[in-house]
Amino acid sequence: MSTVPQNAKSNASAKSARLTIRDLSARKVSAGVAPMVWLTAYSAPTARALDLHVDAILVGDSLGMTVYGMESTLTVTLDMMIAHGQAVVRSSERACVIVDMPFGSYQASPAEAYKSAARVMAETGCAAVKMEGGAEMAETIRFLLDRGIPVVGHVGLTPQSVNRFGGYRAQGRTAAEAKKIMADARAVADAGAFAVVVEKTLEPLARAITAAIPVPTIGIGASPACDGQVLVVDDVIGVFDLFKPKFVKRYAEVGAAMRAAVAAYADDVRSGRFPTMEHCFVATPQKTTKKKALPKSSRK
């Protein structure tokens, strides 16, 4: 069983067809395929770096914390999501791009959700939107699907409801919690979501949800049994290093490397080692060409 999508094996310069929601919705591990790879991205350079290696890029509202320094995702706006979604779609060719719906843009009513989601789809060119919530969002998911907008669900810990949860603690610790999260996952899948993110739930529950619903589950702090995994790219590469969630595996320390590079640059400038003449522009003397003398016979 290959762990790398076939398109990812081709030369990086070769343009591949962009993966679609139909491609993703068929990727249940129980069918014998490799787990999907999802990561967040918010900028053009990051999207280009991820594009060849992932199945889906999620333009997550986590950008509120990682990019803008907000304390939570609650103050992220629709305009922010659209601007970052545009950058990611423009700078990727292969990965399926999904954009988070921010807090307050879809909860009021199905009609309000459609108005917001239609803007996201039309202005970014993304393939789908993601919405947090369980059974209470089923009607909205159906409403959007009936109007041509594919949806990814999100159950378990839903960060936009952090105040209701009283923090970012793992979910499904009690029988009642586990029962509700399972019901939420079933409701979202039954409503037509083509995939469901399962966040920060106890492992046996995430495993059970993956077995219970027909659409792929995408785990984040959930279970290796999920049909795919997603993480915040800033956590993965060590750019966001104020704290590291338990469910994150760090593959690089880009933040530390960045600080070291900036410190070296500052030291060079202050000590006069940068810039040198090799970094400057100087005028190049122009060569003068002498006119050839005409033959005497042709002179007047």
Domain boundary among 232, 250, 268: 250
Question: Average pLDDT of the chain?
Answer: 92
- The answer on pLDDT for 140 being more than 90 is yes
188 shares its domain with 104: yes
Together in a domain, 180 and 276 = no
d(CA 64, CA 68): 5
> Mean pLDDT over residues 150-173, rounded?
88
User: Does one domain contain both 152 and 268?
Assistant: no
My answer on whether 141 and 89 are in the same domain is yes
Q: What is the structure's pLDDT at 297?
A: 58
* Structural domain count, the chain: 2
Does the pLDDT value for residue 7 go beyond 50?
no
* CATH number of the structural domain spanning residue 47: 3.20.20.60
Q: Which pLDDT value is given to residue 12?
A: 43
Active site residues: 199
Q: How confident is the model at residue 298 (pLDDT cuts 50, 70, 90)?
A: low
Domain check: are 135 and 269 in the same one?
A: no
pLDDT at 92: 98
pLDDT band for position 167 (50/70/90)?
confident
Assess if residue 168 is contained within a domain.
Answer: yes
Q: Which domain holds residue 112?
A: 6-250
Please give the average per-residue pLDDT across 49-69, as a whole number. Answer: 97
Would residue 295 count as lying in a domain? no
Distant-in-sequence contacts of 48-51, Cβ < 8 A, 24+ apart: 48/91, 48/92, 50/92, 50/95, 50/233, 51/91, 51/92, 51/93, 51/94, 51/95
Does 220 lie in the same domain as 85? Answer: yes
137 and 242 within one domain: yes
Whether 289 maps to a domain, the answer reads no
- Does residue 14 surpass a pLDDT of 70? no
Res. 265: pLDDT tops 50: yes
Instruction: Note the maximum CA span of the chain.
Output: 111
